[in-house]
Chains A and B, each alone.
Chain A
Amino acid sequence: MSAPGEPSSSDHEPEQREHAAVSAGKAVVLGVRDAFAPAFKVIELVGDHVILFARAMSWLPRRPYRAGNYLEACEYIGFGSLAIVLLVGAFTGMVMSLQSVYAFRQFQLESFAGGTTGKALALELAPVLTALMMAGRAGAGIATELGTMRISEQIDALESMAVNPVQFLVLPRLVAGMLMAPILTLLFFVIGMTGAYFVAVVGENVDHGQFVLHTRDILLPLDIVQGLIKSVVFGLLVILIGCYQGYNAHGGGRGVGLGTTRAVVYGSVIVLMSDYFLSQILLQIIPPEAG
């Protein structure tokens, strides 16, 4: 029973109902937010990468230019990945050629091996495998280097010395990634085709003239251009992810290790996923018969 002068319980009812409605509303909002949390996280991550890229590029036309930083980054990403790219390129071309020769031999068409290997290398294998090698070597290396600089306050030190760390550390690496990836891809393709030729012509006795002729028929110059366009995008993605993971590392050595792992895993997955969408777009722009 309520005391005299106090409002009765029925006076509270509309208020309680309102409270209940508000609580239910909040619960629904929280539930939806929790359910879609992974999706929000992915969107946030993509957004953060875009912002880092935009921030870096906004520094491109501004002084000081620091040519030395660009050359150093090109040397690290390009020359540093050269040996592994050439090795993988040679063996990829060789095995593709070997498998193609054996497959086409069933129809006495083994001289087509050069063309099909060339097409596969130019359009897919060279850009994709080069990007994967870059993710494993340069992407991981950059994530570790920048991550160590972050946790040992070297990035803060740069900022305290009035040097913009994005301009100093991230921009040269992104530019180097976009420049070096197509060069490495082209080298991958050239060494891959050389390997393919030796396996087919020298190892499997395919006729030299037929091999070259069919390669010219099937492999178009625009296929190589298409592969190189892809490689620029892949190079950017792999290096951007490495920079992001390193630049935002936290939590000591474990944090740097996690960042490095993510740089390789995210970099590789994004290359393979974006390859499909890029291929769809490029096939519309540059149809196969265009060459």
Chain B
Amino acid sequence: MKLDHDGSPLEQPHPRWHVRVRGLDKSFGTNHVLDHIDLDIERGKVNVIIGASGAGKSVLIKHFMCLLRPDSGSVWVDGTDVFALATKPLAEFRRKFGLVFQFSALFDSLTVEENCAFPLKEHTGKNKAEIKEIVRDRLSALGLDGTQRKYPGELSGGMRKRVGLARALVLEPEILMFDEPTTGLDPLATRNVDEMILAACARYKVTSVVISHDMASVFRIADRIAMIHEHKILAAGTVAEIQASREPYLYEFIRTSGVAAASGARVVPEAGAP
């Protein structure tokens, strides 16, 4: 039996940690992206991974559901060694996850309704009426009533993100992952997306993993924060622990983003303030 640092067996679900990443290494050719990453994702909380662009945040979360395979290391999700799964159990395992992509990755050729219905058609034996009802419920919960027949190209960036989330939610995943959900959005849309993430996590009781470098947004939603810098985890902990950290790069990262590290409050006026 493989034991974790704290002596708990990795092959069994941990009461606190939903995902446990141990010694993950990943290179693309000569480009070393992840260097011996150890990380814990807390169950039922919003876990945010921050870091500069190109730091390897997206690469890291793609390992959680085995969209990428590492050079070495392991990822344990509820006691399952992700990289040891064969093709069929892996497909089954991936249904635990909902992934919301940076640019939504909606299928252009399908309407909003068809996009959201896609995972249900693929993985459940539900009939058309049941699928339609579930999709309507998810879209309605995210304020997307009336968009069912529209194509992704007809929607704004914020709406596409919400459709992406609705699609990720239809199979009732245990872990929701957001890849830079607020990138490219205006401040109001950013706040809406943050609220949407919090509401979705509260309503569907999921563990969330969010990749972001918008610190104002991070402090609004995060329960735990981990920072990747130079291919390693530079710091990880609760929001208070991260705010109290005097790690120079982390402090500089937060300070230059216009958010006071000590309080998490913005040090520049909000848009529209006098």
A binding-site residues for B, Cβ under 8 Å: 64, 148-149, 152-154, 156-157, 159-164
Contact = CB atoms under 8 A, between A and B. Distances in A.
A161 B105 contact: no
Contacts of A154: 105-108
12 contacts: A152-B105, A153-B101, A153-B102, A154-B106, A156-B105, A159-B94, A160-B99, A161-B119, A161-B122, A162-B91, A162-B94, A162-B95
Interface string B80-103: 000000000001101101010111
Contact of B99 (A157, A163, A164): A157
Contacts of B166: none
Contacts of A164: 91
Given A154-B108, A156-B67, A162 B103 contact: no
- Looking at A64, A159, A162, A163, the one whose CB has the most chain B CB atoms below 10 A away is A162
A162 B105 contact: no
Contact of B123 (A148, A152, A159, A162): A162
Interface in B168-224: 171
A153 B91 contact: no
Interface residues of B, number: 21
A152 B103 CA distance: 7
Nearest to B118: A161
Contacts of B122: 64, 161-163
Nearest to A153: B105
Contacts of A157: 99, 101, 105-107
A258 B91 CA distance: 32
A164 B106 CA distance: 16
B140 to A, nearest CB: 22
Nearest to A154: B105
A148 B153 CA distance: 14
A153 B103 CA distance: 8
Nearest to A157: B105
A255 to B, nearest CB: 16
Given A64-B122, A164-B91, A159 B67 contact: yes
A161 B169 CA distance: 11
B149 to A, nearest CB: 20
A214 B29 CA distance: 63
A162 B94 CA distance: 6
Nearest to B95: A162
Contact of A156 (B101, B107, B118): B101
B135 interface: no
A98 to B, nearest CB: 44
A121 B55 CA distance: 59
A231 B108 CA distance: 32
Contacts of A156: 62, 67, 101, 105
Given A160-B67, A161-B123, 20 more contacts: A148-B108, A152-B103, A152-B108, A153-B102, A153-B105, A154-B106, A154-B108, A156-B62, A156-B67, A156-B105, A157-B99, A157-B105, A157-B106, A160-B65, A160-B97, A161-B122, A162-B91, A162-B92, A162-B123, A164-B91
Given A64-B122, A156-B67, A161 B101 contact: no
A251 to B, nearest CB: 14
A152 B105 CA distance: 6
Contacts of B103: 152-153
A64 B91 CA distance: 13
A160 B91 contact: no
Contacts of A148: 108
B125 to A, nearest CB: 11
A64 B107 CA distance: 20
A163 B62 CA distance: 15
- Looking at A148, A152, A156, A161, the one whose CB has the most chain B CB atoms below 10 A away is A161
A160 B103 CA distance: 15
Nearest to A66: B122
B154 to A, nearest CB: 16
A287 B65 CA distance: 56
B234 to A, nearest CB: 27
A232 B106 CA distance: 34
A88 B139 CA distance: 49
A159 B67 CA distance: 7
Contacts of A162: 91-92, 94-95, 122-123
Nearest to A160: B99
Nearest to B123: A162
Interface in B20-77: 62, 65, 67
Contacts of B92: 162
Contacts of A64: 122
Closest 4 CB pairs of A and B: A157-B105, A153-B105, A162-B94, A160-B99
Contacts of B97: 160
A152 B179 CA distance: 13
